Structure 1
């Protein structure tokens, strides 16, 4: 599963020598590439037009509790397998932890979860992206109502939900609708935390020290929350967040090691 604003193409665009989908296929795996709702390859809906508010009223919560479980169940049904390997980059890691914490029965359907720069805790995010956190609360309800499909390829709600993570360090919570709606929806003024203690699937994490979105301090916090970490790999210090899909040396830095780990399972 790709990151926010990405698609299945991200796993093949770097070509047969570096694209992870190619490397997995060459190693004999049956490779399934997911597309989250709202991206270039996933814009059909049985009820709503793409230009309607209803189409774009979603975030990565829905991707974690509806879309990802549906994909997994479909793959297992078609292949006749009881388990699969899961690989997620950035938001692909986010929805993985949402699913396994909120629907813990899916822990048993995954043999190993490999996450590249998983965007879970975001309190130490650096750079211009922090502007989103400053705008999340004052303009969140306005944007969600008027332009829920901005920017192309994801919903406003997705971006704002990440923004709430920047604004509230050390938290991994459900969507914040504001005090009044939170009380109605959650019976609490603040959104509930995702219960990461329910994530029991073996997990590997690959991250870089030069990642301006997913800071090593936030990765350390995630490590401390999970029960079954089997691998934490700190990649080359020069790697940034986007290198985990597009970096010219990412095969050497992370993919080859991940392939060995998969083989061990």
Structure 2
């Protein structure tokens, strides 16, 4: 293992990564569930931090964190807001797992940015609803389409209203899928200065790991509902453990693969949720509509960074995405390829600042 290139997290079994995520390591006490992310992991490092809440149109109460200035106070000039959006089975802690010198949220704050951290519904900072609780089946009756339609707009709107500025966006994995789908429908583009997509996910045709393929297919809502008896996937519940055990029981599946793919694997196309016989009622057509990524505005500044060792955001699938972006204005599309980075290295790699973040911040400053 090349320690100078990879975080040790990216070499751990997936189950252990999830254990660290939910329970923390020695330095993460008290837990964010008890006191919030700001108090648990941001303020102890000497940073100012604010907790916010925003309610989606369908009633989910999302928690967000803001690091308004760096550890050494305000750096001269206006501070551009940046919204960070985590991937699946994670939450805003994604951006705070390493030291302040290595974690993106801290790095951005120390380099003059106004940092906002998003948490999608169902995560520990966003587990409330105006009328439902996580123990209610109806609470989990959503797919990632609702993240596109409700969670993403709610978080972007909050940042825009609080800062009175357009914002930069950084998504990892599922955070890129949400953004790409949103941009393809023209949503929120007018409120963003740019979008940085780390390990962009749009197509999963070339995913190499059997565990990832099975996980992605099983995460399709109608299959998962039958398998677990849930309308959606609760990553913190007992059913999640059952789900992982089912995956690991398949022949030739190695549960020590890097990261599994709990995103939408929908027959080689990026489509909305398939309601089967109810598609006509929902969409006015028998098949779910496709998110046409070629409709992403060509003038939207995009920064795409992906790795040669990523088993989920495979390079061939990224090339497929780039075909959709082939008419994008050349001076508004920056591609950043890191040969020896895997999926988790973009957020947990100890060298990610030098390899990825510095380049990304330079991109932001040019916009």
TM-score scaled by length of structure 1: 0.88
Instruction: Give unpaired runs (5+ residues) of structure 1.
Output: none
Supply the distance in 2 between the matched residues of 1:161 and 1:191 (Cα, whole angstroms): 19
Mean CA deviation greater in 142-151 or 58-67: 142-151
Supply the distance in 1 between the matched residues of 2:264 and 2:194 (Cα, whole angstroms): 29
Which of the residues 262, 268, 271 maps onto 1:173?
271
2:107: which partner in 1? 23
Supply the distance in 2 between the matched residues of 1:133 and 1:262 (Cα, whole angstroms): 32
Supply the distance in 2 between the matched residues of 1:9 and 1:141 (Cα, whole angstroms): 28
Deviations 1:154-202 (A, max 9, x none): x98xx9983533xx12x11111233x12233223332111122332122
User: Matched residue pairs, number?
Assistant: 255
Supply the distance in 2 between the matched residues of 1:144 and 1:189 (Cα, whole angstroms): 26
Instruction: Give unpaired runs (5+ residues) of structure 2.
Output: 1-84, 241-259
Contact 2:225 2:231 in 1 (8 A): no
TM-score scaled by length of structure 2: 0.65
Which of the residues 24, 33, 36 maps onto 2:117?
33
Deviations 1:194-229 (A, max 9, x none): 122332122110000111001111111111212345
Segments ≥4 residues shifted beyond 6 Å = none
Q: Which has the higher helix share?
A: 1
1:173-252 aligned within 5 A: 173-178=271-276, 180-200=277-297, 201-226=300-325, 227-228=328-329, 230-235=333-338, 237-252=339-354
Say which one has the larger Rg. Answer: 2
Distance 1:78 1:246, change over 3 A: same
Supply the distance in 2 between the matched residues of 1:58 and 1:216 (Cα, whole angstroms): 29
Supply the distance in 2 between the matched residues of 1:188 and 1:259 (Cα, whole angstroms): 43
DSSP-derived class of the 2:196 partner: strand
Distance 1:136 1:106, change over 3 A: closer
2:91: which partner in 1? 7
| RMSD between aligned residues | 2.3
Supply the distance in 2 between the matched residues of 1:134 and 1:149 (Cα, whole angstroms): 13
Supply the distance in 2 between the matched residues of 1:191 and 1:95 (Cα, whole angstroms): 17
Q: Which has the higher strand share?
A: 2
